[in-house]
Chains A and B, each alone.
Chain A
Amino acid sequence: ILNVEQSPQSLHVQEGDSTNFTCSFPSSNFYALHWYRWETAKSPEALFVMTLNGDEKKKGRISATLNTKEGYSYLYIKGSQPEDSATYLCAFRNNNDMRFGAGTRLTVKP
């Protein structure tokens, strides 16, 4: 059984705050770690796909890091904006399938 855990479950921040979420995953049979952004009434969209231990990826104000040896990834959002409000999902991919965490629901208040 694969366990992908995300924390916190939900987060409320003020516009301009920086924030981060955690994704923990099994450290064995690692293939890739994905981060997705999921807005209400839409489908998840990929933010990052990371495959190497120590990977750091950045897209605008959002960045992510990966530690495959200890089985965790962090997603950072710098200077949160109301349009960042969404659920952020991480997914662990082994050589068979892809399993998702329950997500972190971010609400950014103006």
Chain B
Amino acid sequence: NAGVTQTPKFQVLKTGQSMTLQCAQDMNHEYMSWYRQDPGMGLRLIHYSVGAGITDQGEVPNGYNVSRSTTEDFPLRLLSAAPSQTSVYFCASTLLRGDSEAFFGQGTRLTVV
């Protein structure tokens, strides 16, 4: 029972480099989302998707790109990493039904130097 699989667990980037954080779920969840966690700020929504082919911006989308070509996968791309993107990133998925809980990936600790 894999749930939400998020990779990598740790990553160090140089300023200006690009990378993709992977997120996959095997629960047939329509809704997938990316959050970043910074001290004292909880989880802030970056981008989300309500189904394959549909994505939308959250609270802090700048500097990030997403796509949803399949129900299972929702990768997050950092186009040109900046030190301000140093954070812990979480992917989450849930059903579109309101009473469905969200399941989270294990998190990615990203440091941009």
Q: Which residues of A contact B (CB under 8 A)?
A: 1, 6, 9, 31-32, 34, 36, 43-46, 49, 51, 89, 91, 93, 96-103
Q: Chain B, interface size: which category?
A: 20 to 34
Measured between beta carbons, the chain B residues less than 8 angstroms from A102 are 40-42
Q: Is the interface of A mostly helix, strand, loop or mixed?
A: strand
Measured between beta carbons, the chain B residues less than 8 angstroms from A45 are 104
Are B101 and A46 closer than 8 Å at their CB atoms? yes
Q: With contacts A1-B59, A100-B45 known, what are 14 further pairs, Cβ within 8 A? A: A9-B40, A34-B101, A43-B104, A44-B43, A44-B102, A49-B100, A51-B99, A89-B42, A91-B43, A96-B56, A97-B33, A98-B33, A100-B35, A102-B41
Measured between beta carbons, the chain A residues less than 8 angstroms from B92 are 98
The chain B residue with its CB closest to the CB of A35 is B101
Measured between beta carbons, the chain B residues less than 8 angstroms from A100 are 35, 42-45
Q: Which residues of B contact A (CB under 8 A)?
A: 31, 33, 35, 40-45, 48, 50, 56, 58-59, 90, 92, 94, 98-107
CB distance from B76 to the nearest CB of A (A): 15
Q: How far, in whole Å, are A91 and B94 apart by their CA atoms in the complex? A: 13
Are B102 and A46 closer than 8 Å at their CB atoms? yes
CB distance from A7 to the nearest CB of B (A): 13
